[in-house]
Structure 1
Amino acid sequence: MCGRFASFQSPEAMRALFRTTNPVPEMAQPSWNIAPSQPALAVRRHPETGARHLDLLLWGLVPHWTKDLKAARRPINARAETVTSSPMFGRAFAARRCLVPVDAWYEWQVTPKGKQPFAFARPDRETMAFAGIWESWVTPGTAKVLRTFAIITTAANATAAPVHDRMPVIIRQEDWPIWLGEAAGESAGLLHPPSDELIEAWPVGQAVNSPRNNGAELLAPVRRLT
């Protein structure tokens, strides 16, 4: 699964990279430790205009047909193998795909000494785009809209597999138009592990275990547990 990630480039830089057209979200803040239920930036194709938008969504998908928000599951991940057919995710995959800008993500390796956190990022430290799906949920009796997202995961590649057997789907820049529905193409065909050399991994400190800790120091390499 993917349960924690970092997204710390400025919204202006992301707006330029993803060529979004709407104003930068005022509440967007850099974060080195985004956890489930927290807001994160996502790139969506506006359902009415078709323009790319950079918006703040909450991490944890709430399907539009949810009746009780307090009892809702709010999954943070969707499996690539079943996302197209799942009653929970299928409609969102067909019509509401998004890109989640990510600079690094974290995973935990089980060792005899305990769980060792690892960070993953591109070797050049460029921003990645995770495959995501999003939903809108309207509070009953009001016009208040809650927008949420989930990240799609797949089998780990050779770089990630020693730490965990799953990893996020990373959409290559040349495939962004297909994923967002701007260009013709088979979006389901993009749901595969990235090439092994696209990412690298290194052990980081235990401070990342708590979402209350947030800063660039979380990505500093440490000696792994032995």
Structure 2
Amino acid sequence: MKIIPRKTSFDDLYIRKGTSNSEHQDFWQEILSFDSYPEYGIRLSSSIDDYVTSNHCISNEEGEALDSYVADSWEYINKFLAENNPSCSIHHLERKKILTNVVNKMPLSEIDFYRAVRTDGRCFFEPLIYKLKEGLIDTGTIMINNTFLSFTNNPYSLRAFAGDTIQGDVENNCIVYKLAGGVKSISKISSVDEFEGIIPPDSLLEVKHARKLNIKIKSGQERNVWFIEMEKAPLSSTPHCDFYGNPV
């Protein structure tokens, strides 16, 4: 894999408030069509933030939950925290409570965090894509998550989550979320400049803007990318849908 040296932090000037749709388009075209990963996008570690271990009392169960999450968050969430089997509901709730407790001990970060998901061919995302196309997800929409959601503060790391992990091509109708502040930073996952944040289940997030971008991939074809800007919603808010677009 070719590595292109870059400075140790990225300039997000073009994705701050008040930027035009064309500026968003240009910025995310550069991010999602990047010809290789910057060095700090591939040199990952699973070091836990020293803030947690030095400032809080972590139980053995919480430590195991945190280690399991950091080691492989996707498998841990979907294998141990997904409520797929009604007979396992008690274990599900226990694990959910343990990980929520340890996340709540993490420092609250005011930096922006990002998340990308592939939706093409995944039927459970169809209600959300339909709502986005019809303009039903826009400013003021309150969304609630049913499971733990991980975010990164480094948008250059999103390409692997927005498309094919081998070719790196962006999938059609993938979604990129930007969450402004209010995220618990769970760990430093890169030796240079990348932090991971986690949103516990039942968090309320308010959409500030939803826009469709047209990202050109290597073949010259264009892909629809939905860019959703969000922030933490007031606790008194009433959710309109979950992260799959289903009404609640």
Global fold match (TM > 0.5): no
Whose strand proportion is higher, 1 or 2? Answer: 1
TM-score (norm 1): 0.30
Give the greater-gyration-radius structure (CA): 2
